[in-house]
Structure 1
Amino acid sequence: QGAFMTFAGIIPLIFYIFYGFESPAYLTATLLAGLAMAILAVHVLVVGFATLVRPVQIGAVLEAIFGFLVVIKSLLVTFLA
């Protein structure tokens, strides 16, 4: 989970550096990264949250929160800008 979250955070950062905040490439990468993190968090919950070790549970909760916040931010920037 940690490597996935790092990768999902680096891709939007690279697009932000090269293309800027208003670029469709940055907004698309951010939205897809957020959706991917949210889907992974839902998968962890479906597989069996209670059977996982504590660090994975904490990571799944943080990933779900971060993923949904990124999706909301991306949608707000896309439709309000």
Structure 2
Amino acid sequence: MSVDTTTPATPDDVVAIFRRVLQREDVTAYSDFFQLGGDSLIATRVLSAVARGHGVELTFEEFLAEPTPAGLAGRITGAV
């Protein structure tokens, strides 16, 4: 029997991840990760945190398509 460990995400959940990995408090639901100074290496930390916290493994291409907390939350919830 498999156990479903996926959980939906809110933009606030992803804002918290962005704030932690970018070490910035000025992140909002519509802040662009890359405009805040994020890069591909730091993006992997976001993707790892999403996988650990929500059980969803997003690709880097999905991250590039939706580089805001609101966009990523939508991708996470869509995958659940």
TM more than 0.5: no
Q: Give the structure with the higher percent helix.
A: 1
Structure with larger Rg: 1
Relative contact order (alpha carbons < 8 A, sep ≥ 6): 1 or 2 greater?
Answer: 2
- TM-score calculated relative to the size of structure 2: 0.35
- TM-score calculated relative to the size of structure 1: 0.35
